[in-house]
Amino acid sequence: MNWLKAKSRTGGDCRFGTWAKIPALETVEMLGHAGFDFLVVDMEHAPHSLQTAYQAIVQAQAAGMAALVRMPDHSPSMAQKLLDAGADGLLIPRVDSADAARQALAGMCFPPEGSRGMGYTSRAAKWGADSVAAYLERGRTGVTRIVQLEDVGAIGEIEAICATPGLDAVFIGFGDLMLSTGLPRNDPSILAMEQSVLKTAAAHQLPVGTAVQSPKDALACRDAGYSFVMVSADTTIFSIGARALVEGLKG
């Protein structure tokens, strides 16, 4: 079953997760014990290798979370390895056009929709214990292929992007969107782009996700129509906790 259709551990229809930037199994396990719905292993902005990403996928799933990975780029060979490692979904960073979305997603889909190769003896098929049919079905319907929209050009092509074969969800990357436009998060132009994505994705029955720093902002996203939200990150959670502890000692 696709993780977005499974019962949420945090309740309601919106799934809440966080980023895994620290390449350590212990922190992944603790985040699972905390009760997050999903984890996103960050290979774009953190020092994860293929090996540590693979280990985090296994540990996250063992701890009761869906395991997603933000890829370092659009590489189809990396997508192949991560999907065969059993990832529940992939985030494709910096998708700036409908053409870029088509090319990236093609490598994540089995023929005839795409060009992903057969890896039946991989972890995604329980090392060959599953049937070929089950492996192919999971690859077609059991994983979530997500494009990250992070600049004005991509949002201008949102209709064509949402119609891309193999697309399962979209993610609005407000950090890079604000960086590229020079506008704050609450600027009317940013808010208009957000509504354009939410409305167009809803018309295509595609879930929309984003990332925030606080529970308050996460709940506001849920109420605005987002289906999945990353809240903070393991590094930030540790840093805030450590600083609060030291401040308490100073007091």
Pairing status of strand 169-172 against strand 15-20: unpaired
Torsions phi, psi for 224 (to 5 deg): -80, -10
Contacts of 22 (CB under 8 A, 6+ apart): 46, 234, 235, 238
Dihedrals φ, ψ of 213, to 5°?
-105, -20
> Taking Cα atoms as reference points, which of 208, 71, 101 lies closest to residue 164?
101
* HSE value, Cβ hemisphere, 13 Å, CA-based, for 35: 4
Query: For residue 112, is the peptide bond before it cis, meaning its omega torsion is within 30 degrees of 0?
Result: yes
Q: Residue ranges of the domains in the chain? A: 15-250
Q: How many CB atoms lie within 10 A of CB 38?
A: 27
**Whole-angstrom distance, CA of residue 145 vs CA of residue 135:** 16
Report pLDDT for 22: 98
Q: What is the pLDDT along the chain (251 residues), one digit of tens a residue?
A: 689 988 899 888 999 999 999 999 999 999 999 999 999 999 999 999 999 999 999 999 999 999 999 999 999 999 999 999 999 999 999 999 999 999 999 999 999 999 999 999 999 999 999 999 999 999 999 999 999 999 999 999 999 999 999 999 999 999 999 999 999 999 999 999 999 999 999 999 999 999 999 999 999 999 999 999 999 999 999 999 999 999 999 97
The model scores a pTM over 0.75: yes
Residue 53 in tokens: 């990403």
Beta partners for residue 172, in sequence order? 149, 210
Superfamily in which the 15-250 domain is placed by CATH: Phosphoenolpyruvate-binding domains (3.20.20.60)
Q: Angle of helix 25-34 relative to helix 50-62, nearest 10 degrees? A: 30
Is 45 tagged catalytic?
yes
Query: Active site residue: 33, 45, 74, 204, which one?
Result: 45
Name, in order, each residue with C-beta under 8 angstroms of 37's C-beta and a sequence gap of 6 or more.
Answer: 3, 8, 9, 10, 15, 16, 17, 65, 66, 228
Predicted local confidence at residue 1, as pLDDT: 63
